[in-house]
């Protein structure tokens, strides 16, 4: 006696045919599509906040240059304005990386991006973000060190930033070795 053919299970891979998933498992398919749609809202919102921050940083640069050209200003103030603008530009970069990475993870993974922005897993996104966060913290500390802000203890702040940088560097090192071992 021949047994009835079993339904083929959906492969748990990147290349899932979503139409087939909706047909065979409509409840699961509905939630996957709902998750993708809500993440699209988060991606767009992240892009908009990044654009708003970029416009703000450009205005601050314009304001600093205008101040430099119209009045005599302290070199430290101008240096701090430049470093804060760079810090904001780096934050905008982080937000764009998040938006692009989430797009690759939830919407479409085959988009033309530089290799360092290519995200295949959430761990790739976390590693890329960790590297940029290290850079942002270093620029933030540099700005405070140059100005010589006496209201804050630079040694304590620098020590705290150093601990975070060491932890993120260790995380990135472990992720790199994990990825190398998978190959």
C-alpha distances out from residue 163 to 132, 158, 168, Å = 16, 9, 9
- pLDDT tens-digit series, residues 69-86: 787 767 777 777 788 888
The confidence score (pLDDT) of residue 82 equals 81
* pLDDT surpasses 70 at 46: yes
Locate 85 and state its tokens.
Answer: 């603008």
- pLDDT tens-digit series, residues 160-175: 888 888 888 888 888 8
**Number of helices (H), then strands (E), in the chain:** 5, 0
* pLDDT surpasses 50 at 8: no
Distance CA 39, CA 130 (A): 21
Specify which of 19-33, 35-49, 69-83 reaches the highest per-range mean pLDDT: 35-49
Cβ-based burial of 108 (10 A; exposed 0-12, middle 13-18, buried ≥19): exposed
* pLDDT surpasses 60 at 26: yes
């Amino acid at each position: 006696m021949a047994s009835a053919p079993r339904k083929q299970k959906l492969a748990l891979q990147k290349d899932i045919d979503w139409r087939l998933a909706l047909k065979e498992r409509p409840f699961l398919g509905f939630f996957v599509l709902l998750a993708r749609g809500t993440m699209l809202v988060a991606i767009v919102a992240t892009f908009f906040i990044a654009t708003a921050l970029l416009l703000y940083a450009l205005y601050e640069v314009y304001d600093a240059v205008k101040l430099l050209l119209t009045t005599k200003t302290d070199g430290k103030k101008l240096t701090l304005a430049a470093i804060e603008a760079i810090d904001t530009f780096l934050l905008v970069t982080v937000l764009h990386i998040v938006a692009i990475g989430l797009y690759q993870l939830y919407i479409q993974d085959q988009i033309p991006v530089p290799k360092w922005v290519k995200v295949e897993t959430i761990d790739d996104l976390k590693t890329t973000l960790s590297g940029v966060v290290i850079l942002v913290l270093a620029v933030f500390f540099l700005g405070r060190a140059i100005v010589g802000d006496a209201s804050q203890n630079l040694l304590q702040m620098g020590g705290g930033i150093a601990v975070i940088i060491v932890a993120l560097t260790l995380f990135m090192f472990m992720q790199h070795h994990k990825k190398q071992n998978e190959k």
